[in-house]
Structure 1
């Protein structure tokens, strides 16, 4: 089979599309014929060697955590899923023609494989950071860098929970944020005052790592009400850096419920061939994404 891998840490040029042995489902796992793989910032952070404490890597290594596809092996002890089922979930080395998943759910009927691959990690992250920041129904949440995959999920999940959301993004994504139910404003000079004009901020999330932690603490008045998933320097301000995943099976179950009720939809901004993984990482790292980027196998 074909698999994207890297033999050294570095830039996108270290990625190679190579022949590899097919993986096999162990106990409690399934294997899928991959139809699409989600491209997440954590993928290129791992490739660069940024977060080895949270994600240890043995080189050479495959790439990718999220995928959708067709079940073709069911491991020992697994129940409730059969060969031929269409699933999406989380595993390892998902930038490949076959991948083993450790957490999965059946795809809702309304999703394509391409769309489904974009949900697992971003929904788990969105649910986790909303919980960690302690925002409740009737309060207002500020989301810095709100137009990407995690931001898209946060805005919709918060809205479903009765939370008002203020989102910052580039000028081209203002209407997109509003379509997801957010009060939208642009980042850049004067953004703090523009946020204040939209309302009081009870809690804030930093999704872009654009150096705004100090301002988010100022707006909330409490570093404990701010969480970042993108700024490794956040703890210097007393702000939580959230990098340890919670329960993926629970997140997938909640995602299925939200999608089935029409309360969650994360668009695919761009699709890439497996051979274009490096280009996908370059685009992901550049930011300004509206929704998700996926590899299609």
Structure 2
């Protein structure tokens, strides 16, 4: 990596259906296509929502080029994220021999790259790995990328599963920023504290990353969120205030992503959708400010 180290951003929520995967991909696509940065997205979720969304066109047919690469290079040559983790876990003080090449990383565009998930991640249990060892896996993997002549990423985005696995443990242990999208519902306030407490209990020692929540699927009228959405958001912000009193640096960003049908359709699209640019621009400004303060 030239100039400055790549920044790692993880998106997580233990509640399904909050739009975590969509947000991860479109924010990464915004940074790659609009801000012209080199971006890598890693799907660490065994549900493979992002991987399948990228593979499928609106017609329901598979994108041939990606499907061919996935089956004949990524899987056949055993160059998956799970293969890398198992290789790292099997080390006994030796060299992490897992070349970072075109069988591991797929180029979506000149600036946007992707590491897909695999269904075998479903059976990935934290208990079967050396916890202290696997904690440093993602850091080691990113280190190999930074020293690679071919891959010069500015940002790496991780789409994390809605449960705690060995892989998410490693991702969250080394992330510069953890994003938690919430929806306008009662879980927005009640779930934040439970999730942060759960992460602190499982990740030891706590790496003290920046954590930020923001509203996704916000109901809006004439460009402003509705009274009901604002009420849920105020409750979520209050939960963050209570968490901050415990010494956890969690932020609540007033930027929001609206609830629109077109947003999911934008995942397999070639270009970032113009109608969402202002929303993701505001969200990205908050991300940049947070990462800048971590330097």
The TM-score normalised by the length of structure 1 is: 0.30
Q: Which has the higher strand share?
A: 1
The TM-score normalised by the length of structure 2 is: 0.30
Larger RCO (alpha carbons 8 Å, 6+ apart): 2
Q: Which has the higher helix share?
A: 2
